[in-house]
Amino acid sequence: MKNYNIYMLLLFCTGSLIILSASSTYNSSQHTIAGTKFLQDTMKQSGWLAPASADSIKNPLSITQESISKGEELYNMYCFSCHGDTGYGDGPAGGSMGVRPANFHDQKVIKQKDGALFWKLTNGKGNMPPFKEALTDEQRWQLIVFIRELGKTE
């Protein structure tokens, strides 16, 4: 009878251990799911990396009133609808999309090299159209000059 009690106790302990470990696995998988979701949310703004080689593409234009205003003209034709009048990524066509248009005032954009932004503008990704065919190299650089200026405004 005594042996039987010990056996039952052991069974009980093992049983609770299994339940405990199962519930903690369950919890940690919940955390992982929440963590991934968080990552995806932040990725919405910052997950897009240009290849490292793009950093060395040099901007051939100097920052003059002319290149800025040429860029502004192009921006108002092709970009403002998504990126917004003032470049906060809040344009009327950007609202309903999964990945929000970039905010040019964001440090994540400001800290990138001209070459990386030029590469992204050229190649596009998802909701960001590629402008390789639509615009000349010079026009795309004028846009880079302009969105830099835009990023400095309030």
**Using CB under 6 A as the criterion, which residues of the chain lie in contact with ligand HEC when the complex forms?**
48, 78-79, 81-83, 93-94, 97, 99, 101-102, 109, 112, 117, 120-121, 125-129, 131, 143, 147
| CA dihedral (71, 76, 81, 87) positive or negative | positive
Task: Give the integer Cα–Cα distance in Å for 16 and 41.
Answer: 37
**Closest approach of ligand HEC to the CB of residue 35, in Å:** 20
Distance of CA 130 to the CA centre of its chain: 16
The amino acid present at 22, given as its one-letter code, is A
Q: Are 50 and 119 in contact (CB under 8 A)?
A: yes
The tokens describing 146, both together, are 């302009």
